Structure 1
Amino acid sequence: MSKNKPATLPPGTAIGGYHIVRRLSSGGFGVVYLAVGADGGQVAVKEYLPSSLATREVGELLPQVQPEKLSLYRLGLKSFFEEGRSLAQISHPSVVSVLNFFRENETVYMVMNYLEGATLQDFIITSRDQRKQKVFRESTIRSLFDEILRGLRIVHQHKMLHLDIKPANIFITDDNKAVLIDFGAAREVLNKEGNFIRPMYTPGFAAPEMYRRDASMGPWTDIYAIGACIYACMQGFPPNEAPQRLEKDRIGLALSRLRGIYSDNLIEVVEWCMSIDPLSRPQSVFALQKELSREGERRYTKLTVAEKLRLQFDTLVSDTKKNVQNVRDATGIGPTPK
């Protein structure tokens, strides 16, 4: 069997009453297409097609799965189908709308509203490249995540978790609506059941418990990712991934450099959400919403010159140790920095 990525469906392919226009995106677990329905309206169609389990030749409709991977493929298929069924019951402007879901060609398709705009990741990169002191204004961050949390709260009330919240999965529409997209239920089921070489999580945004098979997931898992997304909106880049934080946590140091630029309250909210211990995080979206809405309590700590110099010194020492360790790892020469 070919080790290449499965071939996408060509333009004009008819599935479930929809006609494929073009591929919009693809990842390790599926392909998203722009399609048109019988009424001529545009929709996004997501096809379950995990590249670690299946392949498909150009011009074919049916995925090909090796016999030893078939049970795992079907397990993910069931989870993807159930995800579509659950999302179809949710109607909220900040959650992607599932219009239809169906089985065909030995896989499952999820039909969603076609959104025009850009991802939060696109906006972060654009803002970061302008090299301003603030990547986003605090009022923008609070307003954006107020919208997202309203949608996430509904998701959790339906006994669902997103499990892959990150800037690339927060879509900002052309009419300035923030929408959660690309849920990861099938991804998480396969991670628990199979032995994939590919990671099932997004480094920097995945909570520590997502790296352990025996850990319990809950609202606190998505809340960690929300904190990481706010961090990215403040810093312009993702936080360190969880395994690195378990060895040496530099999140507090990184956030302390932002005091005086962002309010103490917002910085404390991010630290709260990104606690290593799940029990130390907000246990519900409601608890986080309550804290994030306290705009009237904003206070700013202006760092003294001595504190700024100390931060710069700590950063220099930390970076030097890291560089020395990298050289040692690469060459096997030199002592481990203390």
Structure 2
Amino acid sequence: MTQSNPQTALPAGSRLGEYTIVRQLSVGGFSVVYLALDDQDNKFAIKEYLPRNLALRDDDGQVTVPHELDREAFNLGLKCFFEEGRILSGISHPTVVRVINFFRANQTVYMVMEYADGRSLVRELELAGGRLEERRLRKWFAALLSGLREVHLQRLLHLDIKPANIYLRRNGAPLLLDFGAARQTLSRRDKHFASMYTPGFAAPEQYEKDAPLGPWTDIYALGACLYACMGGGTPQVSKERKESDRLQPASKAFRHLYSPELLELTDQCLALPPDERPATVAGLQKRLMAEEYGQPAPAELASSKWMGWLKNLTGGRS
């Protein structure tokens, strides 16, 4: 029996219990996500546990671990994946992707999730020209934090919050996708999984093998998302920031575009020491929903300085 490429997706028409695979939606170093239909033609997204550095798919569709030395790591990730599905299936919140079912097949585990029509925050940013208005940012992120709070109460972390994992339904409501507990477990265990971090959005403690992770880790990623949505692009990698911090603070970079309160909050989320970030998502949400937000610094200040310089240069002539 020959082994195929480790990222080979199940072909369209494959059956997984009561579900039929329609097509692949995405693939990464940790899993493959499919669009599937049940026997009543309802749409679902199904995530398959398939860590590419540990496992292969054979010609019969079975997931195998070719090197016995990788068996323990594969089983650990599978256990975390299964536990993640179990916890998420017990959470019913409009901003957290709903897990309907999870089961074993093909010598691996599958997680059946709701399929939501809409588009990613990445696409929304592109359509908006790379920057989103404050009103929408505060509304969307406050809603996401409400769902993330429920997740944290279940002792589960997301660990991969980024614009690509924030989805906007057709009605405009945000949805948090692709939790990464098992991915993070493998990443911290084996250097081969370092690429599973999302540079710019991963907190500095995620690069340290023995550093504790917690709600503060997801809060850093939320700050990075806010920074990106303000027009800052992907922030400097946190590991590099610890060596030479070149990330311009939001309070300086976007002071003419956003309120001082939102900018200060973003900078606090992006603090390198975890204890300098907001302590909880509940506290962060409360600050986002506060009504006493000020106005951006007037851009005219910069213009007046320029006009003053020009006036001095011309001897006061207008």
Partner of residue 219, structure 2 = 223
Residue type of the alignment partner of 1:227: G
* Unpaired stretches in structure 2, ≥5 consecutive residues: 307-318
Partner of residue 235, structure 2 = 239
Matched residues in 2 for 1:136 and 1:308: separation? 28
Alpha-carbon contact 1:209-1:215 (below 8 Å) kept: yes
1:88-103 equivalent positions in 2, closer than 5 A:
88-103=89-104
Q: Per the alignment, in what secondary structure is the counterpart of residue 200 of structure 2? A: coil
2:293 to 277, 297, 300: 297
Calculate percent identity across the aligned residue pairs. 46
Q: Per the alignment, in what secondary structure is the counterpart of residue 128 of structure 2? A: helix
Partner of residue 312, structure 2 = none
The question of 1:79 aligning with 2:80 is answered yes
Q: Per the alignment, in what secondary structure is the counterpart of residue 192 of structure 2? A: coil
Partner of residue 262, structure 1 = 258
1:8-157 equivalent positions in 2, closer than 5 A:
8-57=9-58, 59-65=59-65, 66-128=67-129, 135-157=131-153
Instruction: Give CA deviations for 1:66-111 in whole Å, capped at 9, x if unaligned.
Output: 2121111111111100000000000000000000000111100000
Partner of residue 335, structure 1 = none
* Unpaired stretches in structure 1, ≥5 consecutive residues: 130-134, 310-338
Give the TM-score of the pair, scaled to structure 2: 0.90
Matched residues in 2 for 1:48 and 1:77: separation? 7
Residue type of the alignment partner of 2:96: V
Between Structure 1 and Structure 2, how many residues are aligned?
303
Q: 1:80 to 1:266 in 2, by over 3 A?
A: same
Q: What do you get for the CA RMSD once the two structures are aligned?
A: 2.0
Please state how far the C-alpha of 1:3 moved relative to its aligned partner: 8.4
Please state how far the C-alpha of 1:255 moved relative to its aligned partner: 4.2
Please state how far the C-alpha of 1:164 moved relative to its aligned partner: 0.3
Partner of residue 277, structure 2 = 281
The question of 1:166 aligning with 2:162 is answered yes
Please state how far the C-alpha of 1:250 moved relative to its aligned partner: 3.0
Matched residues in 2 for 1:270 and 1:160: separation? 23
The question of 1:186 aligning with 2:182 is answered yes
Q: 1:236 to 1:280 in 2, by over 3 A?
A: closer
Matched residues in 2 for 1:3 and 1:167: separation? 32
Alpha-carbon contact 1:125-1:236 (below 8 Å) kept: no
Q: 1:260 to 1:32 in 2, by over 3 A?
A: same
Matched residues in 1 for 2:148 and 2:73: separation? 28
1:316-335 equivalent positions in 2, closer than 5 A:
none
Please state how far the C-alpha of 1:31 moved relative to its aligned partner: 0.7
Please state how far the C-alpha of 1:175 moved relative to its aligned partner: 1.9
Matched residues in 2 for 1:307 and 1:224: separation? 36
